[in-house]
């Protein structure tokens, strides 16, 4: 699955002028909200509530299936605009930090090898960081480097007090033990949120992870900003990868959705998906989800971004989502586009995690 | 939810003579199986396989719903007999360890206060441990003890090389910070498997937790020993507690079931449950699950054990499951009884986790 390729999308819109009407809108929001909260996503522990069960109080939903005419067009959930608002909020917070304590957040990336995709994603992270005032550091290692060299780079960033987030750009070359190296990542700089402790705390009621993985966090923020209520909804996640599908399902559950995960061994996945009020797809299979997979009125969030060669596009390829967009827009009540949906939100969440990490490190609030 | 009360069941059957025909059967099995594997459950990493998705290879299941006559009676999944087999296997392994290296596994329990339920569970763990040759240690602290006293007891057992499993008997009195104290538990003695690192590694593909929580582990072992195939099945878990529902859903997913969790905010839980090929219920609501919740032919595993006062019973109460057993036995293809289903398996898994921990500590295989 080429989930990391979502960052590619960001490249397109990041070239635009940074201060826009939405920047100003976000700024005015931050004036209204005295807590300077950039995101709408609440802390997970604040969502916790006791599961009080009684036989008599079983929730019942008799809402009938929505009817759509042939002219129905789904709302487009514009991640690009939302991410721009969030990034402008981050930029303001970084500025405030710099003016108050003379410090800025720092993000470090370790890149092994010269894979074209990885180079693109890292470049996007660099541009994104620098635009909001986050210091960006990078270590590039050759394809044939030793495990020890990667570990040394990790250790160096772990000990560096001006670095608050470390990303080990995946995938690593085969001769390197990904699990072992990731295990060495300092928990409080794990801005990707992939450390088992963060995943465990994401899963467990009553606990709060230090960082929520960026793509799932971006999807939830996108839903919340679109006014979509998650509690009690039937949510289906397609894909169970450690970096998207799994944490996505855990996060939806913390928001009190009734969650089902579809994976490659699921029988009749179309029928399972058809039950979803909220369908989040991260399979990495272009156009897997077509009309018969969708419940009329469903909210569809497309995380899939498969690059397909296209010489007419700027970088020689374009991105295809998991969802047949044309079909979804006739059936769903809302749908994210590819590109311009989840991708920009993912990069914005990485910057947000880095900012939060720096705030913790500097005890800056 | 009174999940820990499952251990109560065990009290009843543990009084029986230890060497039975099933002990001998287990012994002969261990002779056949040169790896001395006590459980049928495989390592989780060994189950991992790539989620290869293609639009064309979507799994389809056209099996029709099974028909049952009015005289149909579900198979009873006898956890009591299975647990006895497992315990006899553990006893043999402990004996082998003692004869080979002069060491036995050690299990320590910290009990705060004098709650009747907790005293019963701890007594059962003591009897269970000693019967298989595991050394049992206990610290009893008064209801009004300080956090520091609990932490000191934890630390003492953490440093004690003859202790391989530590259990902090829950719930703790309200003035103690359960999360904080549990966080101090040494990871490699966390035989309950509730540490976030263990939960994270249970959730993530490619990773293996040091310990799988006892009740979910017992449910899977019960299914495997009953010849029930989990891969590709639609599994529904009722309840999302950190100690049963959540790890149960994660473990089922590692076994490639398509998993849905029902919780108190789920709408139409009866309809969701009715989709399940395998239904595992841990809500702690007596008789919540009745006939209309069950798909004909479903496998039903009842983790619920609510104590109900009954002066005619030995201890003044009896245990009621979440499932209407009478109704389930007419619709399901197999069902676990309460008591005598999951309860004995849970205690057996605790002993198994303690044995495995000691084997790791002594590098004994």
Residue pLDDT, tens place only, B191-243 = 999 999 999 999 999 999 999 999 999 999 999 999 999 999 999 999 999 99
pLDDT of residue B182: 85
**Phi, psi for residue B119 in degrees, rounded to 5:** -60, -40
Task: In whole angstroms, give the CA distance from residue B306 to residue A53.
Answer: 13
> Looking at beta carbons, which residues of chain A come within 8 Å of B241?
51, 205
Query: Each residue of B136-165: b (16+ CB within 10 Å) or e?
Result: bbbbebeeebeeebbeebbeebbeeeebbb
pLDDT of residue B1: 37
pLDDT of residue A239: 96
Beta-carbon separation of A263 and B256 below 8 A: yes
Mean predicted confidence (pLDDT) in B272-301: 96
pLDDT of residue A30: 38
Task: In whole angstroms, give the CA distance from residue A280 to residue A337.
Answer: 13
Q: Is A67 a catalytic residue?
A: no
Task: In whole angstroms, give the CA distance from residue B52 to residue B66.
Answer: 30
Q: Is A363 a catalytic residue?
A: no
Question: How many percent of chain B have pLDDT more than 90?
Answer: 72
Per the model's pLDDT, the better-predicted residue between B167 and B2 turns out to be B167
Spatial neighbors of A306 by CB under 8 A, at least 6 apart, are: A2, A5, A284, A285, A286, A319, A320, A321
Question: Where do the domains of chain A lie?
Answer: 68-82+213-345
Mean predicted confidence (pLDDT) in B256-283: 97
The tokens for A327 are 């079909």
Sign of the torsion angle spanned by Cα atoms A284, A288, A293, A297: positive
Query: Left (φ > 0), alpha (ψ -120 to 50) or beta: where does B181 sit?
Result: alpha
Mean predicted confidence (pLDDT) in A147-160: 96
Q: Which of B233, B201, B210, B207 is nearest to B220 (CA)?
A: B233
The answer to whether A119 touches A6, Cβ cutoff 8 Å, is no
Query: Each residue of B25-48: b (16+ CB within 10 Å) or e?
Result: ebeeebeeeeeeebbebeebeeee
The nearest CA of chain B is from the CA of A318 a distance in Å of 20
Per the prediction, chain B carries an average pLDDT of 87
Q: What is the DSSP letter of B333?
A: S
Angle between the N-to-C axes of helices B79-101 and B6-14, in degrees from 0 to 180, rounded to the nearest 10: 70
pLDDT of residue B112: 96
> Looking at beta carbons, which residues of chain B come within 8 Å of A204?
196, 199, 242, 246
H or E element in which residue B234 lies: strand B234-238
- In DSSP notation, B255-275 reads TT-EEEEE-TT-SSHHHHHTT
Confirm or reject contact between B195 and chain A (CB < 8 A).
yes
pLDDT of residue A196: 93
Task: In whole angstroms, give the CA distance from residue B354 to residue A150.
Answer: 36
Lowest mean pLDDT across A241-245, A288-292, B3-7: B3-7
The nearest CA of chain A is from the CA of B287 a distance in Å of 8
* Predicted confidence (pLDDT) at residue A167 exceeds the cutoff of 60: yes
Mean predicted confidence (pLDDT) in A161-182: 92
**Phi, psi for residue A234 in degrees, rounded to 5:** -85, 115
Spatial neighbors of A55 by CB under 8 A, at least 6 apart, are: B285, B287, B288
Residue A6 banded pLDDT, cuts 50, 70, 90: very low
Spatial neighbors of B204 by CB under 8 A, at least 6 apart, are: A196, A199, A242, A246
H or E element in which residue A308 lies: strand A306-309
Token look-up 């390592």 returns B43
Q: Is A143 a catalytic residue?
A: no
Mean predicted confidence (pLDDT) in B26-47: 64
Sign of the torsion angle spanned by Cα atoms B352, B354, B357, B361: negative
Within 171-190 of A, beta carbons closer than 8 Å to B belong to 179
pLDDT of residue B57: 47
Q: Which of B86, B85, B105 is nearest to B95 (CA)?
A: B105
The tokens for A62 are 């008799």
CATH value of A68-82+213-345 in 3.40.50.620, 3.40.50.1580, 3.40.50.720, 3.40.50.300:
3.40.50.720
Lowest mean pLDDT across A103-107, A213-217, B59-63: B59-63
Residue B58 banded pLDDT, cuts 50, 70, 90: low
Residue B121 banded pLDDT, cuts 50, 70, 90: confident
Confirm or reject contact between A51 and chain B (CB < 8 A).
yes
Angle between the N-to-C axes of helices A6-14 and A342-362, in degrees from 0 to 180, rounded to the nearest 10: 90
* Predicted confidence (pLDDT) at residue B14 exceeds the cutoff of 80: no
Q: Which of B160, B94, B19 is nearest to B351 (CA)?
A: B94
Beta-carbon separation of B265 and A288 below 8 A: no
Question: How many percent of chain B have pLDDT more than 70?
Answer: 85
> Looking at beta carbons, which residues of chain B come within 8 Å of A242?
204-206
Q: Helix, strand or coil for residue A347?
A: helix
Token look-up 């495997």 returns B224
- HSE-CB for A339 with a 13 A CA cutoff: 25
* Preceding peptide of A171 cis, ω within 30°: yes
* Predicted confidence (pLDDT) at residue A22 exceeds the cutoff of 80: no
Beta-carbon separation of B267 and A258 below 8 A: yes
Task: In whole angstroms, give the CA distance from residue B299 to residue A193.
Answer: 36
* Predicted confidence (pLDDT) at residue B69 exceeds the cutoff of 70: no
> Looking at beta carbons, which residues of chain B come within 8 Å of A281?
none
> Looking at beta carbons, which residues of chain B come within 8 Å of A270?
58
pLDDT of residue B18: 34
Per the model's pLDDT, the better-predicted residue between A54 and A277 turns out to be A277
Residue B78 banded pLDDT, cuts 50, 70, 90: very high
- In DSSP notation, A131-181 reads HHT-EEEEEEE-TT--HHHHHHHHHHHHH-TT--EEEEPSPPPTTS-HHHH
pLDDT of residue A33: 39
Spatial neighbors of A77 by CB under 8 A, at least 6 apart, are: A222, A226, A299, A301, A334, A335, A336, A337, A341
Residue pLDDT, tens place only, A338-352 = 999 999 999 999 999
* Predicted confidence (pLDDT) at residue B15 exceeds the cutoff of 80: no
> Listing from the earlier edge strand, what are the strands of the sheet with A75-76?
A75-76, A334-335, A299-302, A278-281, A234-238, A258-262, B258-262, B234-238, B278-281, B299-302, B334-335, B75-76
Lowest mean pLDDT across B40-54, B72-86, B187-201: B40-54
Task: In whole angstroms, give the CA distance from residue A287 to residue B174.
Answer: 52
Confirm or reject contact between A59 and chain B (CB < 8 A).
yes
pLDDT of residue B33: 40
Query: Each residue of A210-246: b (16+ CB within 10 Å) or e?
Result: bbbbbbbbbbbbbbbbbebebebbbbbbbbbbbbbbb
Per the prediction, chain A carries an average pLDDT of 87
Q: What is the CA radius of gyration of chain A?
A: 20
pLDDT of residue A59: 59
A203: exposed, middle or buried (C-beta count within 10 Å: 0-12, 13-18, 19+)? Answer: buried
* Predicted confidence (pLDDT) at residue B315 exceeds the cutoff of 90: no
The nearest CA of chain B is from the CA of A207 a distance in Å of 8
Mean predicted confidence (pLDDT) in A227-241: 96
Per the model's pLDDT, the better-predicted residue between B63 and B310 turns out to be B310
Residue B317 banded pLDDT, cuts 50, 70, 90: confident
- What ipTM does the predicted assembly reach? 0.86
* Predicted confidence (pLDDT) at residue A248 exceeds the cutoff of 60: yes
B270 → chain A, closest CA residue: A58
Mean predicted confidence (pLDDT) in A257-268: 96
The tokens for A118 are 């990885």
Question: How many percent of chain A have pLDDT more than 70?
Answer: 85
Lowest mean pLDDT across A50-54, A137-141, B88-92: A50-54
The nearest CA of chain A is from the CA of B351 a distance in Å of 24
Task: In whole angstroms, give the CA distance from residue A149 to residue B238.
Answer: 47
pLDDT of residue A17: 33
Structural fold of domain B68-79+213-345 = Rossmann fold (3.40.50)
Lowest mean pLDDT across A74-78, A256-260, B34-38, B173-177: B34-38
Residue A69 banded pLDDT, cuts 50, 70, 90: low
* Predicted confidence (pLDDT) at residue B36 exceeds the cutoff of 70: no
Confirm or reject contact between A196 and chain B (CB < 8 A).
yes
Between the alpha carbon of residue A156 and those of residues A80, A163, A289, the distances in Å are 34, 10, 44
Token look-up 């479903």 returns B298
């Amino acid at each position: 699955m080429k989930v990391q390729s979502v960052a590619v999308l960001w490249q397109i819109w990041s070239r635009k002028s940074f201060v826009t009407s939405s920047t100003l809108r976000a700024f005015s929001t931050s004036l209204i909200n005295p807590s300077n909260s950039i995101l709408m996503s609440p802390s997970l522990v604040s969502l916790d509530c006791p599961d009080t069960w009684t036989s008599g109080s079983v929730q019942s939903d008799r809402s009938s299936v929505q009817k759509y005419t042939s002219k129905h067009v789904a709302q487009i959930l514009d991640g690009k605009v939302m991410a721009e608002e969030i990034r402008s909020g981050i930029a303001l917070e970084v500025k405030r930090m710099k003016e108050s304590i003379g410090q800025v957040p720092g993000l470090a990336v370790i890149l092994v090898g010269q894979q074209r995709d990885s180079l693109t994603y890292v470049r996007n992270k660099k541009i994104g960081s620098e635009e909001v005032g986050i210091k960006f550091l990078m270590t590039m290692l050759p394809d044939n480097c030793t495990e020890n060299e990667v570990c040394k780079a990790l250790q160096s960033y772990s000990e560096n007090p001006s670095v608050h987030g470390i990303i080990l750009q995946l995938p690593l070359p085969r001769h390197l033990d990904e699990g072992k190296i990731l295990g060495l990542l300092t928990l409080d700089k794990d801005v990707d949120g992939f450390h088992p402790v963060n995943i465990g705390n994401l899963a467990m009621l009553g606990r709060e992870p230090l960082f929520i993985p960026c793509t799932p966090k971006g999807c939830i923020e996108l839903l919340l900003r679109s006014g979509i209520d998650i509690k009690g909804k039937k949510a289906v996640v397609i894909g169970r990868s450690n970096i998207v599908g799994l944490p996505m399902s855990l996060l939806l559950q913390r928001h009190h959705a009734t969650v089902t995960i579809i994976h490659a061994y699921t029988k009749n996945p179309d029928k399972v998906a058809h039950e979803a009020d909220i369908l989040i797809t991260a399979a990495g299979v272009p156009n897997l989800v077509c009309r018969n997979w969708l419940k009329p009125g469903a909210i569809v969030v497309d995380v899939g971004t498969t690059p397909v060669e296209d010489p007419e596009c700027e970088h020689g390829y374009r991105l295809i989502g998991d969802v047949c967009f044309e079909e979804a827009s006739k059936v769903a009540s809302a749908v994210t586009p590819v590109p311009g949906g989840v991708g920009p939100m993912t990069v914005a969440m990485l910057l947000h995690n880095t900012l939060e990490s720096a705030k913790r490190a500097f005890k800056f609030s």
